[in-house]
Structure 1
Amino acid sequence: MGEAQAKIGPSARRPDNSAFKQQRLPAWSPMLTASTVLPFFYLMALICMLLGVWLLLTVQSTQEIKLDYTEAGTCDRCFEKRKDVANAALNCSCIVVLSIGKAFKGDVFFYYGLRNFHQNLRRYMNSRDDAQMVGRNKSLKKPSTYCKPFDKDQDGRPIAPCGAVANSIFNDTFILTYHGSVGRPVRAPLLQTGITWYTDKNVKFRNPKTGNLTLAQVFEGTAKPLYWQKPVYSLDLSEPSNNGFLNDDLIIWMREAAFPNFKKLYGVLNRANEPFTQGLPAGDYSIDISYNFPVQHFQGRKEVVLTTLTWFGGQNHFLPIAYLVTSSLILLTAVVLTVVWLKFGKNMEE
């Protein structure tokens, strides 16, 4: 018993006398001196400043026009009338005009924007059935309880797609028309398919397997969301492949925004024909708006955005300004350290 206790002592828990366990391996301990630190600070300030200026010039090269149409013309008055039962089928539409002074060259992107619409609320974001959106037939007939109260209609039929996110989809439509100096007005064609992320179209969203059935037959027995005008299998009558859970507008809306003010892609200018081969020519334009999405009850605003993009994206000045501010702070720190070193660096007693 005494021998066993002698073996279990402080020496038994001592690490091996090796270079690794005793931390005697070769190491480099840099000596931070003014001649090494100050040049590094000035170099980092210069790099951040060059990056900030470069990104700022890149952002400034984009062109963008925003147009708030919340109270445009008779749109809002028409929508107020449509709330009555007698006017429930009233088609609300209006036309807004805008002028482009300088041609938008290259690809032009058409966005719709919403303000004061909070897609980042936890209960709102959870009100969806991802299993249903990837085409699982079981979830199609029996939606997730997370979708309540938007899981079944008044007759007890399951809703597809279910949940508050899908139910609140933005459903205003737009027609952009170019009014040139000569000739008749020309409708600017917008591509509304192929505008989603690859992972969304091929991984996160899928239609149920149809087999020998049509998409309408697969969704038979389900109901459309409460505020939808069309069932999910007939959202786009002009493009059969753009229906069901693979509809581009639905996919883009289901990707929730992080902030209450956001914009989402509606379409991209089709530059196949004149006069849009180079982009949007300068001149007068009109936008015919089908006004369906209400914003009055949450004090929101609606807008359309026409913009060009660069490799950096649209007109977002946050990152260039962040680089410039960081450069200024680093430069200020470097100057202060330089003054301190020149005044006290050579006299260690001070």
Structure 2
Amino acid sequence: MDRDGSGGLGSASSPDVVRSIPVRSHPPHDFLSKFKQQSLPACKPVLTPSWVVATFLLMGFVFVPVGLVTLRASRTVVEIVYRYDADCVPEAFKGNKVSYIKDSSLPKNCTRALKVNKYMKAPIYIYYQLDNYYQNHRRYVKSRSDKQLLRGLEYTDSSSCKPEESNNGLPVVPCGLIAWSLFNDTYQFVRNSAKLRINRKNISWKSDREHKFGKHVYPLNFQNGSLIGGGQLDPSIPLSDQEDLIVWMRTAALPSFRKLYGRIEEDLDADDMIVVNLMNNYNTYSFGGKKKLVLSTASWLGGRNDFLGFAYLFVGSCSIILSIVFLLLHVKSPRY
């Protein structure tokens, strides 16, 4: 057998053997590779002075009218705001308001007269406003159980409701600090010796009533401890129908907030005198809070809020001023 390698298959000198040299293949120029290489077609506008001036002028001519319309809609809303937490304390307890509000044996009824300055078209929304009340406090917000609100005693883990998860070894429904501190001031309105009817239905979000609060979940062992936080709940009414609770459980983000109490579905004329019979039950004196009663109409934009209109006017005015400045600079030092 020939072992000199001249006839071997692996001989490098054999003329019949062709070596294959690997060739690196380049990836196809698809969308992904163009995107990675930042070579996609793009719009690259040239910001000439005329384009800049025209753009700022257009923004100003759009924003200023929108701001005027928005501000006008806000100003059509009629509001009556009355702070009553200080006025509804007897003179003998002006120096110690906390002891007055905590003493359940003292009467908390208070009567005040409000004058309607402008015609108020129904529906007239009744709000209670609380100031210096931090519903967004971390421990306060966490002290609730959404699963218990929906399923009741079927959900047994109420550890998130501390320190108001149980009382005398029995679970509390609804548990948590938010429900425990339920607002419980009440209002009644009289005009010309006739009581104004307050509609307290559908004051909460429909999604909350139908999907967050159980239709077969009833209050249990609620406000039975030694320390009463706020309002009571009717144990014969399911949580889905306790709309005061549903409104209160949607916590506010800011320390000053309003929550809907009800609606007056009668028009109020200018110069009408409204007698308000209220119960000053809720304790805001311990932390220096304020309580206000608000009667308000609504426009197509909602309640009264001038901020949005002023913001549009400010941006539009600044755009027009900048366009004039750029135009003067271009006239003084033109670019060719």
* TM norm. shorter chain > 0.5: yes
Contact 1:108/1:306 (<8 A) preserved: yes
Corresponding residue of 1:273: none
Q: 1:31-87 CA distances to partner (integer Å, 9 max, x unpaired)?
A: 322232311210111101011000001111110010000112445848734635xxx
Kindly indicate whether residue 102 of structure 2 is the aligned counterpart of residue 83 of structure 1.
yes
Structure 1 residues 35 and 298: CA distance shift in structure 2, 3 A: same
Kindly indicate whether residue 289 of structure 2 is the aligned counterpart of residue 287 of structure 1.
no
Contact 2:116/2:273 (<8 A) preserved: yes
Kindly indicate whether residue 117 of structure 2 is the aligned counterpart of residue 101 of structure 1.
yes
1:91-240 to 2 correspondences below 5 Å: 91-139=107-155, 142-153=156-167, 155-179=168-192, 185-208=193-216, 222-225=220-223, 226-228=228-230, 230-234=232-236
Structure 1 residues 253 and 17: CA distance shift in structure 2, 3 A: closer
Most deviating of 62-71 and 89-98: 89-98
Kindly indicate whether residue 305 of structure 2 is the aligned counterpart of residue 316 of structure 1.
yes
Structure 1 residues 25 and 285: CA distance shift in structure 2, 3 A: closer
Q: 1:276-334 CA distances to partner (integer Å, 9 max, x unpaired)?
A: 3x345641111111111011110000000001001111111111111111112212221
Q: RMSD of the TM alignment (CA)? A: 2.6
1:261 pairs with one of 256, 259, 264: 256
Contact 1:95/1:286 (<8 A) preserved: yes
User: Which amino acid is the alignment partner of residue 177 of structure 1?
Assistant: V
Q: 1:218-258 CA distances to partner (integer Å, 9 max, x unpaired)?
A: x5xx3113435534424xxxxx6xx4343111000001011
> How many angstroms does 1:20 deviate by?
7.8
Corresponding residue of 2:45: 30
TM-score, length-normalised on structure 1?
Answer: 0.80
Distance 1:42 1:82 in 2: 59
Contact 2:165/2:176 (<8 A) preserved: yes
1:3-82 to 2 correspondences below 5 Å: 7=23, 12=25, 14-17=26-29, 21=33, 27-74=42-89, 77=93, 80-81=99-100
**Percent of aligned positions that are identical:** 30
Contact 1:112/1:304 (<8 A) preserved: yes
SS in 2 for 1:36: helix
> How many angstroms does 1:173 deviate by?
0.4
Structure 1 residues 229 and 39: CA distance shift in structure 2, 3 A: closer
Structure 1 residues 38 and 250: CA distance shift in structure 2, 3 A: same
Structure 1 residues 178 and 343: CA distance shift in structure 2, 3 A: same
Structure 1 residues 262 and 192: CA distance shift in structure 2, 3 A: same
Contact 2:56/2:323 (<8 A) preserved: yes
Distance 2:122 2:102 in 1: 42
Indicate the structure (1 or 2) with the bigger Cα radius of gyration.
2
Contact 2:101/2:283 (<8 A) preserved: no
Contact 1:75/1:94 (<8 A) preserved: no
Number of aligned residue pairs: 307
User: Which amino acid is the alignment partner of residue 191 of structure 1?
Assistant: N
SS in 1 for 2:130: strand
Listed as ranges, the gaps of 5+ residues in structure 2 are 1-18
Corresponding residue of 2:11: none
SS in 1 for 2:114: strand
Corresponding residue of 2:5: none
User: Which amino acid is the alignment partner of residue 230 of structure 1?
Assistant: Q
SS in 2 for 1:66: strand
Distance 1:251 1:4 in 2: 78
Distance 1:306 1:4 in 2: 90
Distance 2:214 2:20 in 1: 68
Contact 1:116/1:261 (<8 A) preserved: yes
SS in 2 for 1:170: coil
Contact 2:108/2:280 (<8 A) preserved: yes
Distance 1:143 1:129 in 2: 9
Contact 1:75/1:92 (<8 A) preserved: no
Distance 1:245 1:89 in 2: 32
Listed as ranges, the gaps of 5+ residues in structure 1 are 180-184, 210-214, 235-239, 271-275
Contact 1:223/1:231 (<8 A) preserved: no
